[in-house]
Amino acid sequence: MNDDQLLRYSRHILLDDVGIDGQQRLLASHALVIGAGGLGSPVLMYLATAGVGRITVVDHDTVDLTNLQRQIAHTTARVGTPKVASAAQTMSAINPGVEVVALQERADAARLEALVASADVVLDCSDNFATRHAVNAACVTHRKPLVSGAAIGFDGQVSVYDSRSDANPCYACIFPPDATFEEVRCATMGVFAPLVGIIGTVQAAEALKLLAGVGSSLAGRLQMLDARAMEWTDIRIARQPQCTVCASRSSG
Ligand SMILES: [Zn+2]
């Protein structure tokens, strides 16, 4: 690290759990973020402030006026521009030292296979089950830790699905792909503005911990938030032997 970096990251370096070594690990890391909306905004901004060296962000959408109530990486002046470009502009303004790879495209299964393979951690900030399952499948295949978040109305949830250890469940163990979950969208249901900030910030924290090697992760635990009562519920989640995604995963 040069003198500027030592200053920029000094409040992390001061932490015994991070230190120079942990900060170096962040700088050498590559995070893949799927979605640059409500969850993606705080995720991308905190990964950039914290100095994750390379951050790839994937989102096909453009900034809409209805996004600005909660998607804090974007601005009124950027309505109509690609979300990934808008987010990259925000991130570079905060920290020009991180490399941002902005991909304006839909993350389909084949593309995710390639993108996930080169990432150290994957953050699912998407808003639909099809994408969540495609991201999960790629993470299981490549044994990459997945930090998954969701938020709708006043309800949020967040967990880590870390298939580097055979003991841990994958996303599909908890939300089977063949089950019919009601797909609820912010466009129809609404979402409380800071809720996506709370859940996205927990995702950023978990990703930074995984990359820097700090503490223990949410793997095996699902955190659910009812923001009306501001009440968190911690649910233990287990790997399902009949899971169609990870059951055939070879052990060891
Ligand atoms: Zn599974």
Q: pTM of this prediction? A: 0.96
Structure confidence at residue 48 (pLDDT): 98
> 240: CA distance to ligand 1 center in Å?
6
Q: Is the pLDDT score of 251 beyond 60?
A: no
Give mean pLDDT, residues 108-126: 96
Whole-number pLDDT of residue 248: 79
Span from the CA of 30 to the centroid of ligand 1 (angstroms): 24
Per residue in 193-204, pLDDT (tens digit) is 999 999 999 999
Share of the chain above pLDDT 90, in %: 91
Q: At residue 56, does pLDDT exceed 80?
A: yes
- Token pair in block for residue 76: 């009124």
Could you give the angle at the alpha carbon of 122 between the alpha carbons of 180 and 130, nearest 5°? 20
**Average confidence (pLDDT) over 60-87:** 98
Tell me how far the alpha carbon of residue 218 lies from the centroid of ligand 1, in angstroms.
16
Give the list of residues 6+ apart from residue 165 with CB closer than 8 angstroms, or none: 219
**pLDDT confidence of residue 252:** 44
Residues 92, 160: Cα–Cα separation, whole Å:
27
> Strand pairing partners for 155?
152, 226
DSSP string, 51-80: T-SEEEEE---B--GGGTTT-TT--GGGTT
Cβ atoms 127, 35 nearer than 8 A: yes
Q: Which of 153, 166, 125 is nearest to 249 (CA)?
A: 166
- pLDDT at residue 41 is higher than 50: yes
User: What is the spatial distance between Cα 54 and Cα 46, in angstroms, rounded to a whole number?
Assistant: 13
Q: Has residue 186 got a pLDDT over 90?
A: no
Q: How many other CB atoms sit within 10 Å of the CB of residue 143?
A: 13
How far is the centre of ligand 1, averaged over its atoms, from the C-alpha of 19 (Å)? 35
180 pLDDT above the threshold of 50: yes
- Mean pLDDT across the stretch 172-181? 86
pLDDT digits (tens, 9 = 90+) for 131-160: 999 999 999 999 999 999 999 999 999 999
Span from the CA of 191 to the centroid of ligand 1 (angstroms): 29
- Mean pLDDT, range 186-212, rounded to an integer: 95
Q: Which residues are catalytic?
A: 186
Average pLDDT over residues 180-202: 88
pLDDT of residue 80 exceeding 90, the answer is yes
The mean pLDDT of 236-240, rounded to a whole number, is: 96
Q: How far is the CA of 133 from the centre of ligand 1 (A)?
A: 10
- What is residue 177's predicted lDDT score, i.e. its pLDDT? 87
Please, are residues 225 and 232 in contact by the beta-carbon 8 Å criterion?
A: yes
| Cα 12 to averaged position of ligand 1 atoms, centre (Å) | 34
Q: Report the alpha-carbon distance of residue 62 to residue 172 in Å, rounded.
A: 29
